[in-house]
């Protein structure tokens, strides 16, 4: 077998990085649950007609098929693909289980997703998303749209990462404004504006004329809206000053004001109204969110989402929702790549029980068991080498303490060299040493 090579876009973290990821996951879960969101996990595959019906995703979906299937015979797997986000599967889940759920239904979902896009720094083909959503039957009050940034602000604020800014907009503002301008294809205009940061205003203006049927004057007016940004509700006055009117525009402005003012009251500086934010997926109908990580803005949003009114709809049943998703793998990849995250040791172990000879391994195992019962991560030395070698084994892994069985036993802090008598039934390490810490 030749030496294996990594597959681009499918990250495999080393154990210290994986421990950091686990700490992040634990903190994110705890914040989600503090806000009353219940855990959920959906299957990895969905019918292709569901995956492809909303937004420009057809080039990104991985299709599921068996290696040796008969190409001449139809197979149920022909119509299945790996999910590219967690919102579409969640909407399907709600429709299938609506009779068993209590509404409004609040859930968090932390799973891997797959997208067949070009891998680059901070962008992967397999990655972990951390989602929260609220859905209700028939109608969903707008105050849930104001809650989303607060949850994410607390979750990301609890992590050892640079500060974040959540950019918010409302699709109704954009669509109402475009209708007021007389544009016939607001969705095409939204898709063009969504590329503003990537291709710049000149090329977006060209796209608006080519795909949305805009005149030069209309394209200029669209870009004028996209330039408006504010940390308070003054953005609404700036929009009205453009002289465009439409009932949907007024509705969107009122909803966006509520989001911005709520965020300002509970988390000052967290949110900014940025009217160039559009989001590329077609299923969004109200507030939309994107999140910038300080110092890493050029890599795009690390957390995004929005309101969707028609995604979970079947016949007369309608379950509008709003959600937001942290791209955890993107966050970690960017920070690992910039050497911004490290952990105090590469193993969970706090104590290494030294071994004088193999005949005393059972006694060493008993000491380790006593410490583990008290929640102290412990392992026994792999070999009965000289104590100096066993200490170096601990040093290489960052294990802070070595336990020496004897009469009496003793524990040594190998960083300071301090050593003292110890009893496995009562000894405890300093709280800072019990588990690895993220630096």
Tell whether residue 284 is among the known ligand binding residues.
Answer: yes
Degrees (nearest 5) of the Cα angle 135, 129, 434?
Answer: 115
Which burial class, exposed, middle or buried, applies to 362 when counting CB atoms under 10 A from its CB (0-12, 13-18, 19+)? exposed
Burial class (CB in 10 A: 0-12, 13-18, 19+), 431: exposed
The annotation status of 283 as a binding-site residue, yes or no, is: yes
- Element (DSSP H or E) covering residue 337: helix 328-337
The answer to the question of whether 426 is labelled as a binding residue is no
**Token digits of residue 166:** 């959540």
Look at residues 222, 387, 197 and name the one whose alpha carbon lies nearest to residue 290. 197
CB under 8 Å to 78, separation ≥6 — which residues?
A: 65
Structure token pair of residue 345: 């040791």
Cα(116)–Cα(344) distance, integer angstroms: 35
d(CA 40, CA 109): 5
Is position 133 annotated in a ligand binding site? yes
Q: How far is it, in rounded angstroms, from Cα 115 to Cα 122?
A: 13
Q: Please indicate if the annotation marks 129 as binding a ligand.
A: yes
8 Å CB contact between 350 and 434: yes
SS (H, E, C) 243-291: CCCCHHHHHHHHHHHHHHHHHHHHCCCCEEEECCCCCCCCCCCCEEEEE
Binding-site residue ranges for L-histidine: 85-87, 115, 129, 133, 279, 283-284
Binding-site residue ranges: 85-87, 115, 129, 133, 279, 283-284
């Amino acid at each position: 077998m030749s030496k294996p090579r990594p597959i681009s876009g499918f990250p495999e973290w080393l154990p210290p990085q994986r421990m950091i990821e686990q700490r992040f996951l634990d903190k994110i879960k705890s914040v989600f649950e503090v806000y009353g969101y219940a855990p959920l996990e959906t299957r990895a595959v969905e019918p292709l007609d569901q995956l492809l019906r909303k937004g420009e995703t057809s080039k990104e979906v991985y299709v599921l098929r068996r290696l040796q299937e008969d190409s001449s015979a139809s197979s149920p797997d022909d119509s299945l693909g790996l999910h590219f986000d967690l919102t579409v599967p969640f909407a399907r889940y709600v429709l299938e289980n609506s009779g068993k759920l209590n509404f409004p239904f609040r859930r968090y979902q932390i799973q891997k997703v797959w997208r067949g896009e070009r891998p680059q720094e901070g962008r992967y083909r397999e990655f972990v998303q951390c989602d929260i959503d609220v859905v209700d039957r028939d109608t969903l009050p707008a105050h849930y749209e104001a809650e989303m940034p607060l949850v994410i602000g607390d979750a990301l604020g609890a992590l050892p990462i640079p500060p974040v800014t959540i950019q918010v907009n409302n699709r109704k503002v954009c669509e109402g404004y475009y209708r007021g301008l007389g544009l016939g294809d607001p969705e095409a205009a939204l898709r063009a504006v969504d590329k503003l940061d990537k291709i710049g205003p000149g090329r977006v203006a060209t796209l608006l004329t080519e795909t949305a049927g805009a005149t030069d004057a209309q394209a200029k007016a669209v870009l004028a809206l996209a330039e408006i940004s504010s940390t308070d509700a003054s953005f609404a006055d700036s929009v009205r000053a453009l002289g465009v009117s439409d009932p949907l525009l007024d509705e969107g402005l009122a909803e966006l004001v509520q989001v911005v003012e709520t965020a300002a009251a509970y988390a000052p500086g967290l949110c900014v109204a940025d009217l160039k934010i559009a989001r590329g997926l077609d299923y969004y109908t109200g507030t939309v969110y994107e999140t910038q990580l300080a110092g890493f803005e050029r890599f795009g949003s690390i957390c995004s989402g929005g309101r969707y009114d028609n995604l979970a709809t079947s016949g007369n049943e309608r379950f509008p929702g709003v959600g937001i998703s942290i791209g955890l793998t993107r966050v970690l990849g960017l920070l690992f790549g910039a050497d911004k995250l490290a952990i105090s040791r590469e193993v969970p172990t706090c104590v290494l029980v030294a071994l004088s000879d193999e005949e005393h391994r059972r006694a060493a195992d008993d000491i380790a068991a006593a410490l583990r019962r008290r929640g102290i991560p412990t392992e026994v030395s792999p070999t009965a080498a000289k104590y100096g070698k066993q200490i170096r084994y601990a040093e290489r892994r960052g294990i802070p303490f070595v336990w020496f069985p004897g009469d009496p036993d003793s524990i040594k802090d190998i960083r300071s060299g301090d050593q003292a008598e110890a009893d496995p039934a009562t000894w405890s390490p300093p709280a800072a040493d019990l588990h690895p810490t993220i630096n």
